[in-house]
Amino acid sequence: MNKYQILSVAAASLIAAGAMAAAPAAHAASMTKCFGVATAGHNDCAGMSGLHSCKGQATAYYIPGDFRVVPAGTCEKMGGMDRAQARAVMTNDSKVIAFEANIQEKARGWHRSLLTARSNPDVAASKTME
């Protein structure tokens, strides 16, 4: 290999590394923390509740202080909250109980629709066409 080829390979490597470094940043910008939608053992990182300090350590479903990282724009559809909303809910025990009851009812609805789809694919297909 001559000096020109070595420099060309080095330049190409630097350009490729720069492009690869930009991709995760763009991906991270399109993601957001969604509080209250994590299921037991499926939280992302430590929660605001202080009940645990690491990813995957949530022991209960739908705790307002636990979060999942989700694509931007999907949190509200899932019934979740942003950090400020979660903090406001967590300051009042009755709000925590109401939130957990609401999200669990939504989850039961999701599970019923999944069971219907599995037992009767024709019904599921017709619902997606509506």
> Does pTM top 0.75 for this prediction?
no
Average pLDDT over residues 52-77: 87
Distance between CA 47 and CA 54 in Å, rounded? 8
* Residue-averaged pLDDT of the chain: 76
CA 51 to chain centre: 19
Question: How many other CB atoms are found less than 10 A from the CB of residue 98?
Answer: 12
Q: Which of residues 102 and 4 earns the better pLDDT score?
A: 102
Q: Which of residues 17 and 95 earns the better pLDDT score?
A: 95
Distance between CA 69 and CA 58 in Å, rounded? 14
Residue written as token pair 């939130």: 99
Residue range 71-128, pLDDT digits in tens = 999 998 888 999 999 999 888 888 888 888 887 787 777 667 767 777 766 654 544 4
